[in-house]
Amino acid sequence: MESTSGKIEIRCTVNDEPQSVNAYPLERLLDVLREQLHLTGAKEGCGEGECGACSVFINGEVVNSCLVPIAQIEGASIRTIEGIASPDQLHAVQQAFIDCGGAQCGICTPGMVMAAVNLLQRNPHPSEADIRTGLAGNLCRCTGYMKIFESVVRACQNSHK
Ligand code: FES
Ligand code: FES
């Protein structure tokens, strides 16, 4: 519903919690997550849909949250990096990033992890080419990508033990 300020109320779930936010229709999902819901895991890299640092799941699909107007979120299910681990254990991808040194400055890491988690959900046995393709929308300025790639391979291995 639109108020006199021009803001609208949006209802959705975020990491399985029902949420209601008031925002201008064209406010970016990334900003609402970070500023209203204090979920600062998703990062702003480029702000133009190029780097993947702001990746979240919307209804199970990986999306660049810097490109999504909040008005499109009504009724949607959002998952952020804060909702990837279980309460007592990191996700296998998160643990592999730690074990393999897949994170340096950390700006790209939440988006990389979200992309890798999504890849493994869709394809539990990815080839090396599948992993490269699955991470192709995510840029990293620090690692040269090899340790990130190794992290995802390790996560695959660990999830099939
Ligand atoms: S900040 Fe969204 S894709 Fe770069
Ligand atoms: S770890 Fe710094 S951008 Fe990837």
From first to last of its 161 residues, what are the pLDDT tens digits of the chain?
A: 566 789 999 999 999 999 999 999 999 999 999 999 999 999 999 999 999 999 999 999 999 999 999 999 999 999 999 999 999 999 999 999 999 999 999 999 999 999 999 999 999 999 999 999 999 999 999 999 999 999 999 999 988 76
Mark out the alpha helices in 37-134 (DSSP H runs): 92-100, 109-122, 128-134
* Ligand 1 atom nearest to 45, measured from its CA: 1
CA-nearest residue, atom 3 of ligand 1: 49
The CATH class, in words, for 8-82 is: alpha beta
Distance CA 115, CA 74 (A): 23
Q: Topology of 92-159 in CATH?
A: DNA polymerase; domain 1 (1.10.150)
Same fold across 8-82 and 92-159: no
Q: How far is the CA of 107 from the centre of ligand 2 (A)?
A: 5
* Ligand 1 atom nearest to 30, measured from its CA: 2
Token pair listed for 96: 């592999």
Residue 143 has what DSSP assignment? S
Spans of all domains in the chain = 8-82, 92-159
Q: How far is the CA of 64 from the centre of ligand 1 (A)?
A: 6
